[in-house]
Amino acid sequence: MFDALIRFIREQYRTNEFIPLHAPVFNGREREYVTETIDSTFVSSVGAFVNRFEANMATYTGSPRAVATVNGTAALHVALRLAGVQPGELVITQPLTFVATCNAITYCMAEPLFIDVDRHTMSLSPTALDAWLGEHAQIGDDGFCRTRIEGKVIRACIPMHTFGHPAELDGLVDVCSRWRLMLIEDAAESLGSFYKGRHTGTFGGMGTLSFNGNKIITTGGGGMVLTDDVFGERAKHLTTTAKKPHPYEFFHDEVGYNYRLPNLNAALGCAQLEQIESFVAAKRQLALRYAEQLEGSPLHFFREPEHCRSNYWLNAIICDSFEQRVALLKATNDASVMTRPIWQLMNRLPCFTHCRRGDLSNAEWLEERVVNLPSSVPATSTSEFLT
């Protein structure tokens, strides 16, 4: 039953070998820039590529500041620290995400609070969020959002743009401002995705990116905090061991982190970022072809939400049933075409089963049905592929 799909995927990548879910493409100036760092000996915590990568990312995303970090998890951790998250507080997120979102909350000794996603975005639902807060929270005399019964502070809210598809940001901005929650977008998967013409990760107090090897651009490992000038200064300070600038003295005015992105990785990032628009174009073409291929089949291809330009980082289909999902995963992986189910919900992981949660029926529905298809930029010349 899935033979046509498997044949179609092999045609896209023109290979009889194993097809991974997402492989990086190095078609630009990666070698040149990386060699430049080696020749200069500045491969580590000092060097020009870090500043350049940050400046270019700020320009591309339209964010006032961009601060590079060792990975996306570290970027989330720093963002939560800057949001003032204290031990014992709650941070709202969606159950349908990669574990990094919840880990970062836990590093602050805070607890995730799980709110449902929307089916048409697979990301945090502003409607579910507002409904849960209306029933279970109130603004205290001190101006903080607190749970009604225990009076626990709910400090922040982290929507995640699943597979690169933007969440309903207008709604989330509105709910978070009414409930005085710091909005932090986990935009790890959505570099190159825009909501109503504005780049994801720039709608709240802070946004975070990841440049892990499987993301749309990679630095090997890396991340970024997108934010304003004030938080940006603080983020830079906290990620560089909180050292006060001085020609030779060592003075650290708080406990900081060694979360700075090495220059070697930033060099790779600069070369990758130069290609972002061609990667997005190739991935959107691929998504269009998937959609055409699957039209009329029982596998429903997931399309970008309205008013968005999605990067289609990972293409996704919604199966009719759990049984069909299992059959599809088996048939494709047996044929050396890598496919993968969506994450198991975070509230099922042993470390998060005790966490508070709202009704999660949309997340549960998607968990049973969503499968990711191979989504790499086809390695053959993209222009040839596009014709």
Ligand X SMILES: *Cc1c(COP(=O)(O)O)cnc(C)c1O
H or E element that contains 64 = none
Point out which residues bind ligand X (CB under 6 A): 71-73, 97-98, 100-101, 160, 186, 188-189, 210, 212, 223
Closest separation in Å from C-beta 351 to ligand X? 16
Residues 6+ apart with CB under 8 A from 147: 90, 136, 137, 154, 356
Longest distance between any two alpha carbons in the chain, whole Å: 68
Strand order in the sheet with 340-341: 300-301, 315-318, 370-373, 340-341
Instruction: Name the residue nearer to ligand X (CB basis): 71 or 311.
Output: 71
Q: Which is nearer to ligand X, 71 or 265 (CB)?
A: 71
Q: For ligand X, which residue has the nearest CB?
A: 72
Residue (94 or 324) nearer to ligand X, CB:
94
Other beta carbons within 10 angstroms of residue 138's beta carbon come to 13
Q: How far is the CB of 269 from ligand X (least distance, A)?
A: 12
Residue closer to ligand X, measured from CB, 90 or 224 = 224
Residue 222 beta carbon to ligand X: minimum distance, rounded to whole angstroms: 7
Q: Where are the alpha helices (DSSP H) in the chain?
A: 3-13, 30-40, 48-61, 72-82, 99-107, 126-136, 169-178, 229-239, 263-273, 276-294, 322-334, 361-369, 382-386
Q: How far is the CB of 368 from ligand X (least distance, A)?
A: 20
- How many CB atoms sit inside 10 A of residue 152's CB? 19
Nearer to ligand X, 2 or 112 (CB): 112
Q: CB of 27 within 8 A of CB of 377?
A: no
CB of 212 to ligand X, least distance (A): 4
Residues 6+ apart with CB under 8 A from 70: 221, 222, 223, 258, 259, 260, 261, 262
- Quick one: 210 or 362, whose CB is closer to ligand X? 210
Measured from the CB of residue 385, what is the shortest distance to ligand X in angstroms?
Answer: 26
- Beta-carbon count within 10 A of 251 CB: 9
Looking at the Cβ atoms of 12 and 71, the one nearer to ligand X is 71
**Least CB distance from residue 39 to ligand X, whole Å?**
28
Q: How many CB atoms lie within 10 A of CB 292?
A: 11
